[in-house]
Amino acid sequence: MMRDYLVMYDICDPKRLAKIFKTMKGFGQHLQYSVFQCDLTPLRLAEMKLALDEIINHEADQVLIFDLGPSQHDKAELVEALGLPYTPLPRRAVVI
């Protein structure tokens, strides 16, 4: 079963930051700076965590993963925006 996750990160080193961003593009939709929305199966969640774990510096970096629940709802209903409106991007396949 697919679940929605909100992933945010704070990475201290520019090289690691670029690697994290590139890695996250393979798992979800880039929303803002260091924020991604991901629809993942339990296996893909484990793969994402492993990939991120291998990149970050555990003494200096932080990755937060919020479980938003089952993926069966419209993403636009989950987000309240101030200022510019939130518009979900069309989903497309990404080959890693």
Give, for all 96 residues of the chain, the pLDDT tens digit.
899 999 999 999 999 999 999 999 999 999 889 999 999 999 999 999 999 999 999 999 999 999 988 887 666 566 677 767 767 666 666 676
CB 37 within 8 A of CB 79: no
pTM (2 d.p.) = 0.80
Chain position carrying tokens 């201290």? 12
Compute CA 71 distance to the chain's CA centroid, rounded to the nearest angstrom.
14
Q: Which domains does the chain have, with CATH numbers?
A: 13-70 (3.30.70.240)
